[in-house]
Structure 1
């Protein structure tokens, strides 16, 4: 059994279609079929059921997939560990991060990181599915809202922050020292659409406060929301620290009484080798926040 065959096998497990799997691997369909047959002959059991145009994993295929994923992961871990041992600082670091507001605060970290690891390619993926991306091995590190305990994950709580109301500097409430939930319910707001992490957190808080907020306009970008506030279309509720990024827009931040709060985690799979670069990046995140 060869590593190459396991890669072929895993791609077919993912696609469950010989033509699609062969295309993504970059080989012909007959070559893929032949390699899978060689694997089945060696193991003495069929790994896939071929039902016309449909392909499904057998029980043996499901079992081999579980072990093959571990083999491929451990081989990747070994390569990364050896590269670290040689202090090459090469390769890539893939990070899934909660979009819109957190990515505004990563620039400083990315600049410093680049100076120490100039040969490491960094890819930042804004997504609300950071946990899923980590579990699927699509990224090395996930940064987002606090997650539930999971035996597959290491979790590093690194920041807790409250939310504030952001208004135009000429807004009636611009000089207020604090605002109540009842007052929020009377203010036209520009917000993220429902389904976005930040919006769902605010909506859950509103339920606990016994209020309903009035969203007059919704966008999925923190930049556009603050531009709308600048034009006095409405106010917005965002993490308090964002005023540092948008202080030049003529916007004021007002603390909220019993404010909504969010807890942020860094997560990664505990069966993956974490490179020096990944550890250095996480250390910077914790120190900055």
Structure 2
């Protein structure tokens, strides 16, 4: 204000403080800088070269502070930023990727990075991801784990035999199309098969849920998929049956670091 008015009394009036207070503050600033900031000629003042440098840098600082404030405001409103998600390989990646389509429509300026990894807990704890989505988390002392939902698995086929429910053993009665054994869905099926003394021998293995649906649609075999995947894709021409004896279910969890700042895009 002093630079603008080039008059201490007028500047003090604009700032709403007394002229002696303003003069004292300028004197302290000159002592910190080590050079006079103004030439005082009677009642008139003018900037010294040192004063011009201080004014220029002060305006830069003010601009940076304003920029910082506006960016933080936009960040807290989820208008800008980056969201990093760690997910297990396989069908959970398909699920999260599909959900990101809706997220992008709501928050088009937030960059989304989906990291596929078997080490979800490590990714979250080492700040490689804002949160992880998976089925099992062990380090409960360091992680805040929230159950998102629980889902069942169904047998899907291109024909219906009239039964709404079938025993697990029925999946061995005809060719089957499955995810590879690294997928979580397949791991559940393999584990259950061992428990009933059988072994899965898929006619086709593929990591693509769309390929599985097309293969089933064309009669190559039936398949077992989670209810979420079944409902996420165009499956109106397919039939699904509840599996029982045993029933196949799994819970899906979200994990974040405990007692840490939460990235605002992650809250969205």
Normalising by the smaller structure, the TM-score range is 0.5 to 0.7
8 Å contact kept, 2:147–2:253: yes
User: Partner residue of 1:181?
Assistant: 168
Seen in structure 2, the aligned counterparts of structure 1 residues 277 and 185 have a Cα distance that, compared at 3 Å, is: same
- Provide the C-alpha distance between the structure 1 equivalents of 2:90 and 2:173, rounded to a whole number of angstroms: 26
**Residue 132 (structure 2) pairs with residue 132 (structure 1):** no
Please point out which of 75, 80, 84 is paired with 1:94. 84
Counterpart in the other structure of 2:48: none
Per the alignment, residue 21 of structure 2 pairs with none
1:276 counterpart = 2:260: no
Give the one of 58, 63, 72 matched to 1:83. Answer: 72
Gaps of 5+ in 2: 1-67
Q: Which residue of 2 aligns with 1:148?
A: 138
Pairing 1:226–2:227 present: no
- For the 8 Å contact 1:160–1:264, the answer to whether it is kept is yes
Q: How does 1:1-289 map to 2 (within 5 A)?
A: 83=72, 87=76, 89=78, 90-106=80-96, 109-169=99-159, 173-248=160-235, 250-257=237-244, 258-270=246-258, 272-280=260-268
**3-state DSSP class of the match of 1:148?**
coil
Change (3 A) 1:174 1:95: farther
In the alignment, is the contact (CA less than 8 A) between 1:240 and 1:253 conserved in 2?
Answer: no
- Matches of 2:253 and 2:235, distance apart in 1: 29
Q: How many equivalent pairs are there? A: 197
Task: Give the match's secondary structure for 1:179.
Answer: strand
Confirm or deny: 8 A CA contact 1:84 1:275 kept in the other structure. no
Q: TM-score, normalised by structure 2?
A: 0.63
Q: Note the aligned Cα RMSD (angstroms).
A: 2.8
Report the CA distance shift for 1:209/1:231 in structure 2 as closer, same or farther (over 3 A).
same
SS at match of 1:162: strand
Unmatched segments (≥5 aa) in structure 1: 1-78, 281-289
TM-score by length of 1: 0.59
The CA distance in 2 between the partners of 1:187 and 1:125, in whole Å, is 36
Q: Distance in 1 between matches of 2:94 and 2:181?
A: 21
Find the aligned partners of 1:109 and 1:221 in 2 and give their Cα distance. Answer: 17
The alpha-carbon distance between structure 1 residues 207 and 115, as it changes in their structure 2 partners (threshold 3 A), is same
| C-alpha distance in 2 between matches for 1:256 and 1:240 | 11
Q: Partners in 1 of 2:100 and 2:146 — Cα distance?
A: 19
Name the CA distance, whole Å, in 1 between partners of 2:86 and 2:191. Answer: 24
Q: Which residue of 1 aligns with 2:26?
A: none
Shift of 1:264: 0.6
Larger Rg: 2
SS in 2 for 1:244: helix
Kindly state the Cα deviation for residue 267 of structure 1 after the two structures are TM-superposed.
0.9
2:192 and 2:125 mapped to 1: Cα distance?
28
Deviation of the 1:229 alpha carbon:
0.9
